[in-house]
Structure 1
């Protein structure tokens, strides 16, 4: 346990449940023997950030100005490292990082490195259409020597439907649908099932054997970045 943590800022609301759940993972993964052993965390859930998916898939309003504004607010509040716990939003990581002087933790790079470190070679990815289209996670995985496995069109549409249900507050319906997808045939083509969207993370807290959640992988990376030298 470090003698001092860097203050962690979280760009929240991407979506709200995903970021709330991500914070619980930060707490659960922190090695501390008392309240005072945890890092200071500033979570700013800003509802005015335009949909990242709508921008990437349909040419909707750009979320960049709002994301940059939230990052600057976190920096002004004292954040020393910033987390963006949304793989889809990583498409705009460069724009966010350019707005602040503190480091913004790269999620695709962190996920790829940690999957490789635990021996995963063919991750079966449950990701959004936006994450697939942007390609940042795919590039990070292949750069680390991994071969991503994706669902076909029907199951991909079902995964996207799960995300839409979560954002609409219908988590129970999303949970039932997502559990069926986790055992779909395409998953067997990989060597590890990977929840690749933090909106989906709360739907399957008990991962199947050998499974991984990008929220957990990213939380570990953020904590590593926030570890200050004694």
Structure 2
């Protein structure tokens, strides 16, 4: 147990359910035996942030100015560590970090370190179209010696549809569709199923054996950064 927690700021709304679920997992993974043992957390869910997917996939409005505004507001509110719980949004992490003086924790580095520690070599990734197009996660994985496995075009479209359903408030429908993807043939080509999008995290809280969720991996990294001896 740390003697003091740094105050954690969460850039929310990426999407809203994903970040709410991330906060819940942050609470559940905190090594505390009472309410007072948890870190102070500020979650700012701003509906003004343009779609990261639309920008990366279709050249829509840049989300950077809005993301920077959210980060500055969290810093002004006292955040000492900032979390951005969205794999797709990591494409803009450098710009977000440049807007504040406090650490903005890199999700990709945290995820890869923990996958390597777990002995994963060929992660079967369920990620958004935007994450695949941006290529940052793929490049980071391959640079670390991991070989990512992706679904075919049909299953990739089904994954993206699940993300769209979640953002439209239809998570129950998305949950049913996503569960079948965890046992699809392309998954067996890897050595671990990895949920690589926090919008998908709430759809499969009970991971298959050996599975990993980037939201959980990131939550553990944030707690490690926030803990003080």
The corresponding residue for 2:23 is 23
**Unaligned segments of structure 2, at least 5 residues:** none
Shift of 1:141: 1.1
Cα distance in structure 1, aligned partners of 2:46 and 2:157: 27
Shift of 1:201: 0.3
Cα distance in structure 2, aligned partners of 1:9 and 1:114: 22
* Cα pair 1:50 1:63 within 8 Å, conserved: yes
The corresponding residue for 1:132 is 132
Matched, 1:112 2:120: no
**Unaligned segments of structure 1, at least 5 residues:** none
Matches within 5 A, 1:7-86: 7-86=7-86
Cα distance in structure 2, aligned partners of 1:33 and 1:178: 34
Matches within 5 A, 1:1-230: 1-228=1-228, 230=229
* Cα pair 1:7 1:79 within 8 Å, conserved: yes
TM (normalized to structure 1)?
0.99
Shift of 1:212: 0.4
Cα distance in structure 2, aligned partners of 1:222 and 1:131: 21
Shift of 1:219: 0.2
Q: Secondary structure at the match of 1:142?
A: helix
Cα distance in structure 2, aligned partners of 1:112 and 1:132: 16
- Deviates most, 92-101 or 134-143: 134-143
TM (normalized to structure 2)?
0.99
* Cα pair 1:8 1:81 within 8 Å, conserved: yes
Cα distance in structure 1, aligned partners of 2:220 and 2:39: 13
Shift of 1:145: 1.1
Cα distance in structure 2, aligned partners of 1:35 and 1:175: 31
- The 4+ residue runs of structure 1 with deviation greater than 2 A are none
Number of residue pairs the alignment of both structures matches: 229
Shift of 1:65: 0.2
Cα distance in structure 2, aligned partners of 1:171 and 1:142: 32
* Cα pair 1:56 1:130 within 8 Å, conserved: yes
Q: Secondary structure at the match of 1:94?
A: helix
Shift of 1:51: 0.3
